[in-house]
Amino acid sequence: MKKIGFIGLGNMGSKMVVNLLNANYEVIGYDINEKFIDDLIPSGIYKASSLNEIPDDVDIVITMLPNGEIVEKVYENIVNRLKPNTLLTDCSTIDVKTAKKLHKICGEKSLLSLDAPVSGGVGGAKDGTLTFIVGGNEKAYNLMLPLFEVMGKKSVLCGSAGSGQAAKACNNMLLATTMIGVGEAFNLGENLGLDLKKLFDVLSTSTGNCWAINTYCPIRGVGPSSPADNNFQPGFSGNLMLKDLTIALKAIKDTKTKAPFGTKSQENFKQMVDDNKGELDFSAIVNFNK
Q: Which residues are catalytic?
A: 168
Integer Cα distance of 204 and 211 in angstroms: 9
Residue 248 class from Cβ within 10 Å (0-12 exposed, 13-18 middle, 19+ buried)?
A: buried
Alpha-carbon distance 1 to 72, whole Å? 28
Q: Which amino acid is at 41?
A: I
As to burial, measured by CB atoms within 10 angstroms (0-12 exposed, 13-18 middle, 19+ buried), residue 146 is: exposed
User: CA 63, CA 114: separation in Å to the nearest integer?
Assistant: 11
Q: Point out which residues pair with 28 in neighbouring strands.
A: 5, 46
Sign of CA dihedral 160, 161, 167, 170: negative
